[in-house]
A and B are shown apart, each in its own frame.
Chain A
Amino acid sequence: MTETPEPQAEPSATGSTYAARDHARAQEAAATATERAWIPATAHPDTPAGIDPEALLWAETVGAGGYAHQVIAPGTMVELTDLDGDACVHLALAWAGTPWERLCVPDTLKVQWNAYLGQGSLLLSDQGRALASLVLDESGRHDAFCGAPTAAQHEERYGDGTPWGPTPAARELLKLAAAKHDLTARDLPQTIALFKGLKADAEGRLHWLGGAGPGRRVRLLAEAPLLVMLANTPHPLDPREAYTATPVRVLAWRERPTAPGDARWDATPEGRRALANTAARIGAAA
């Protein structure tokens, strides 16, 4: 009998600290993931027409069940693109540094005499100030009534709502975003949903409109220093049985806040006073 030699084991790619380091360092160049952040943002492969690629400050594609958060300066333009037509962006805003001033959905609707957000809408804080202006809206399908779905809703709908499961719920993700700014569930305001719309009838019943198709963009201009928190998960009233969500692209660059003399400043008396209140706070603290 001839002895069969033991097969020579391939050395493990991560069997030593040196090999593990090489293995880790080789990953970036080989990466193909498209749902990711680009840092610096100027490394993002494409830029909106008319925007200097060197001006990008934030570039991130948030996949289904993902979330993002960023602190941005007044005058930052944030562009959200529903790349494949089934994004639903649950958005929370707070005044950076004093997050107890935050998006106030009831005031946003009531003050502007409109239940539906669209081009020209302001997103208002609970302190009577404009946090952001919706300066471009190619979607027209948004919802301020229903808020971010909870783990309990997702457990009932899809069987799971945890951040680590297959069907994360927006509120769970927003709690994580908040936690990274030392904030808790108490600090999460009511949210708005972008790219998925509803319509109320005269009796107040809500009717599903869905999205507006792939490639639609929304641009939000920061009128104040903002903490932006967003989660990309299905709308709570999306009637489709499956957890249906597709990536949203976030790009941001610097412009300037709305100022007296701009058409937006004087578009409505309520908006003028909201923008003036924001400018007054920033001016008093400057």
Chain B
Amino acid sequence: MTAAHEHLVGPRGPWSGLVAAGQTLRITDLEGNQAVDFLLFDAADTTLRYSAQNTIAAAGALFLTTGSVLRDVEHRPLATVTADNCGRHDTIGGACSKESNTLRYGHQTWAQHACVENFLHEGAKWGLGKRDMTGNINWFMNVPVEDDGCLGIVDGISAPGLEVALRAERDVIALISNCPQINNPCNAFNPTSIRVTVTAPIEDSQASSRVES
């Protein structure tokens, strides 16, 4: 038996939680093509936050999938992607914000909710603020880079029920924004719910019986 904690995260909302070393965090795209903006912090020292750039430099590649090691700002592993049936995920596009929306779509979008609002709201529960924000992961978001460098968020490759799973390499705080963006196809123009599941490793729950046998 494994102890699993499930959380339904509604459209446009945040979630955060502690994932202990060895535990698995699973994110399920329940209705398909829902971008999930995601940050990780070392729970013992939150200045050791996720670094998209170190993650990319170490892999020599832009997209995340099974086997990707998510590194912190000092290059040390925070988590490893252990399962992914979507195929690839973005970590160069960053989070949507009210401010960047004004650049991308015009000032008429100013009143719209955005991922950075979720990160700041939810992060405050852990003492995280503006200075702790950085380039994040966008699970289930499709950001190709063309030969001439043209880059952008295009129609997704996810589908209902697809999942990504991470194993925490040390105790981490996971910060999630279930993306509210409605001006581009990252959520298929219709933000929907996701499920977040935190599972203790099977080895831990079986460890005592193995020791006794």
Contact A115 B104 (CB under 8 A): no
Residues of B contacting A138 in the complex (Cβ-Cβ under 8 angstroms): none
Instruction: Please state if B73 and A185 are interface contacts (CB–CB under 8 Å).
Output: yes
- Closest B residue to A207 by beta carbon equals B60
Given contacts A128-B101, A205-B62, A274-B103, 11 further A-B contacts (CB under 8 A): A100-B131, A110-B151, A110-B152, A115-B92, A124-B103, A190-B52, A200-B62, A203-B61, A204-B63, A206-B62, A270-B103
Q: Is A171 interfacial (CB-CB < 8 Å)?
A: yes
- B106–A273 touching, CB < 8 Å: yes
Complex interface bits, A246-286 against B, C-beta within 8 A gives 1, otherwise 0: 00000000000000000000000110011001000000000
What separation, in Å, do the CA atoms of A114 and B73 have in the docked complex? 24
Question: Given A111-B103, A128-B97, A273-B106: A152 and B135 within 8 A (CB)?
Answer: no
Asked if A104 CB lies within 8 Å of chain B CBs, one says yes
Q: Is the CB of B149 within 8 A of A206?
A: no
Across-interface contacts of A149 in B (CB, < 8 A): 57
- Footprint of A on B, CB under 8 Å? 47, 51-54, 56-57, 60-63, 73-76, 88, 92-95, 97-104, 106-107, 116, 130-136, 143-145, 147, 149-153
Q: Are B99 and A127 in contact (CB under 8 A)?
A: yes
Residues from chain B with a CB closer than 8 A to the CB of A153 are 54, 57, 75
Q: Is the CB of B93 within 8 A of A200?
A: no
Q: Is A105's CB under 8 angstroms from B60's CB?
A: no
Q: Say yes or no for A237: interface residue by CB 8 A criterion.
A: yes
Count class of interface residues, chain A: 35 or more
Residues of B within 8 A of A116 (CB): 149
| Beta-carbon contact of A206 and B56 below 8 Å | yes
Q: Tell me which of A109, A126, A236, A274 contacts B151 (CB under 8 A).
A: A109
* A273/B74 in contact, CB under 8 A: no
Q: Which A residue sits closest to B99, measured CB to CB?
A: A128
Contact status A106-B132, CB under 8 Å = no
A63 at interface by CB-CB < 8 Å = no
Nearest 7 pairs of A and B residues by beta carbon:
A106-B94, A147-B53, A128-B99, A204-B62, A146-B57, A116-B149, A204-B63
Task: List the A residue with the shortest CB-CB distance to B147.
Answer: A202
Cβ–Cβ contact A277 & B102, under 8 A: yes
Shortest CB-to-CB span from B138 to chain A, Å, is: 9
Interface residues of A (CB under 8 A from B): 100, 104-107, 109-111, 113-116, 124, 126-129, 145-153, 171, 184-191, 200, 202-206, 236-237, 269-270, 273-274, 277
CB-based nearest A residue for B56 = A145
Q: Which A residue sits closest to B144, measured CB to CB?
A: A202
Bound Cα distance A57, B20 (Å):
52
Sample (6) of A-B pairs whose CB atoms are under 8 Å apart: A105-B94, A114-B150, A115-B150, A200-B145, A203-B61, A273-B102
- B131 touching A186 by the CB < 8 A rule? yes
Please determine whether A110 and B104 come into contact, CB atoms closer than 8 angstroms: yes
- Chain A min CB distance to B119 (Å): 11
Distance (Å) between the CB of B38 and the closest chain A CB?
A: 13
Whether the Cβ atoms of A186 and B132 lie closer than 8 Å is yes
Q: How far is B47's CA from A109's CA once the two chains are assembled, in angstroms?
A: 25
For B116, list chain A residues within 8 Å (CB): 126
Contacts of B104 in A (CB 8 A): 110-111, 270
Give min CB distance, B44 to chain A, whole Å.
15
For A99, the closest partner residue in chain B by CB is: B131
Q: From B51, B88, B136, give the contact of A147 (CB < 8 A).
A: B51
Q: Looking at the complex, which one of B92, B107, B133 makes contact with A126 (CB distance below 8 Å)? A: B133
Given A105-B135, A107-B94: A145 and B151 within 8 A (CB)?
no
Q: How far is the CB of B163 from chain A (nearest CB, A)?
A: 21
Query: A259 CA to B67 CA in the complex, in Å?
Result: 48
CB distance from A89 to the nearest CB of B (A): 15
A145 touching B103 by the CB < 8 A rule?
Answer: no
Taking CB atoms, residues of chain B closer than 8 Å to A189 are 134
* Residues in B neighbouring A203, C-beta threshold 8 A: 61, 63
